[in-house]
Amino acid sequence: MKYVLDTNIITAYLKGDGIVKQRLQEAELKGGEILINGISYYEIKSGLLAINASNRLEKFEPFCSKFGLLLLDSQKIFDTAANIYANLKLQGNLIQDADILIASVVSLHNYVLISADTDFSRISGLKIENWRVA
């Protein structure tokens, strides 16, 4: 199983959330591959730099080195995002563009998104797990 971490899960880890740490370890022990999406990388890094959070930055760098980075690197990802956007707009249930892009790359590769953000539940067919709850 391949898991993609959303920003709120990475933030929880960096703040020492025991449940998230345990779930990461369990997934690794079961042979799961854990990836960080490029948008979350940007959101975390820019946010930590903006508040000069050097302690969390020191945790973030090795965390990112341990897991792979999932990039928005193909036209199919953007086409998928455009379709997600159009469907959500037609339903009157739009979410942030960054979340649509995250969902598109996860959905296209048939991965599981790890997030505590309930907005993702609006996207049909997206596999989501919340590792912040026991």
In a 10 Å sphere around its CB, with 0-12 CB exposed, 13-18 middle and 19+ buried, how is residue 52 labelled? exposed
pTM: 0.93
pLDDT tier, 133 (very low <50, low <70, confident <90, very high otherwise): confident
Domain 2-129 CATH assignment equals 3.40.50.720: no
Q: What are phi and psi of 109, to 5 degrees?
A: -90, 0
Residue 120, pLDDT score: 96
> pLDDT by residue (tens digit) across 76-120?
999 999 999 999 999 999 999 999 999 999 999 999 999 999 999
Place 4 in a pLDDT band, splitting at 50, 70 and 90: very high
Residue 134 has what pLDDT?
Answer: 57
Domain residue spans in the chain?
A: 2-129
